[in-house]
Amino acid sequence: MNVRSIREALAEALDAEGYRFYDTIPASAQLPCASVLWPETIEYHQDAADGSMITLTVTVAVAVTDFAKAQKDIDAAISWPGFGSQLEALDSAAWDQVVVTSASNIRTMAEPKALAADFNVNVYAP
Amino acid sequence: MADYVQLRFNLAVAPAGEATASVSNSCSEFRIVTQREGVTVPANGGTGRGSTAAGVINEQLVITLKSGIKAADFLSMLREIILTDDAEMDFTGTFDPGLVSDDNPEFSGTAVLLNVEIGGTVGGLRGQTITCPITEAGIAVSTTP
């Protein structure tokens, strides 16, 4: 399991889905954007070949230049299918499976002016 | 250095008579259990005490596995094995990942597969713990690579 490879593969996949990727969302982010934060927990020794389960948060932010549109965008992102199902469909050699367990912390951001939501994700990696 | 904690192990499995293939990355538990049945010896007039003598040997292979349902996954092999006439599978394994040696013996044998489950609870891992009796030939232990 390589954390860097997982974060880079997620970044590449999110970029392909149309989200500008940042390690953390900066004040002048180009929207819509996504960030993959450092893992909250990494559970090692999940199998005899040292597989791991990584729990991390993916934050999605959409622009609020038009607030009605921003609400629709974030509603679409947190719906199912939505951004979560897009994440689960991602394929990479860096992981066996991505499972989105929940979305939370839906909020307005001052800088950048955005609506954002956190997706709580388990990544099962060999 | 002590090595009390079970971490990586090697386990390879196949339908009986075929070349074994590693299933280590699908398994989180590998255990070999050896049991003796207790034979009750009645009390006699001399001592007035009953006792228990060691009876027959029973051995079991215990594996906890997680598995997908794709053709190449471990579960597909288990489904294939349990549907054969004898439901027997060969296995070989070491409890540490290094070379076979006096300190890392290799255990092998043939086990009878009695139960396979597919699927799981939504949001949980697909997998199960299987307990398989060992055939009459018993468990072989090797310390040479």
What SS3 state is found at B3?
A: coil
**Nearest-by-Cβ selection for A46 from B9, B10, B28:** B28
What is this structure's pTM? Answer: 0.83
DSSP A88: H
What is d(CA A37, CA A22) in angstroms, rounded to the nearest whole number?
9
ipTM score: 0.78
* Min Cα–Cα distance to chain B from A36, Å: 22
CB within 8 A of A92, min separation 6: which ones? Answer: A6, A9, A10, A13
- The CA-CA-CA angle for residues A65, A66, A70, to 5°, reads 95
What is d(CA B61, CA B95) in angstroms, rounded to the nearest whole number?
13
What digits encode the pLDDT tens for the residues A92-106?
999 999 999 999 999
Mean pLDDT of A69-93: 93
In order, the DSSP letters of A15-50 are HHTTPEEESS--TT--SSEEEEPPPSEEE--SSTT-
Q: Do B25 and A48 touch (CB under 8 A)?
A: yes
What digits encode the pLDDT tens for the residues A100-123?
999 999 999 988 899 999 999 999
Q: How far apart are the first and last CA of chain B?
A: 23
Mean pLDDT of A58-81: 93
